[in-house]
Amino acid sequence: MRTHYDAEADILYLTIRRGPITDSKELDDDVRVEFDHKGSIVGIEIANARKKLARPFLSTVAKQLKAAR
């Protein structure tokens, strides 16, 4: 699994597996799950991540992303 956090847009994207996205489902206004042709989860997008998730978690993700670059 890979993560990407866009601090400016406040969107967290979790890549579960690689592959083309053929369908998606909005769980609420801020959370969308994306699926491949077999119905397996490809990714999860979380908008307004600061409100949805604990700030320490986002801080850790941001630090890991900077270290990985």
In order, the DSSP letters of the chain are: -EEEEETTTTEEEEE-S-S---EEEEEETTEEEEE-TTS-EEEEEEESHHHHS-HHHHHHHHHHHHHH-
- What tens digit of pLDDT does each residue of 48-69 get? 998 887 777 667 767 766 665 5
Sequence length of the chain is 69
Give the rounded percent of residues in the chain with a pLDDT score beyond 70: 84
Report pLDDT for 36.
96
Averaged pLDDT score across all residues of the chain: 87
Q: What is the mean pLDDT of residues 24-53?
A: 91
Q: Are 33 and 47 in contact (CB under 8 A)?
A: no
Q: What is the mean pLDDT of residues 30-56?
A: 89
* Domain boundaries defined on the chain: 2-68
Q: What is the mean pLDDT of residues 27-37?
A: 92
pTM: 0.74
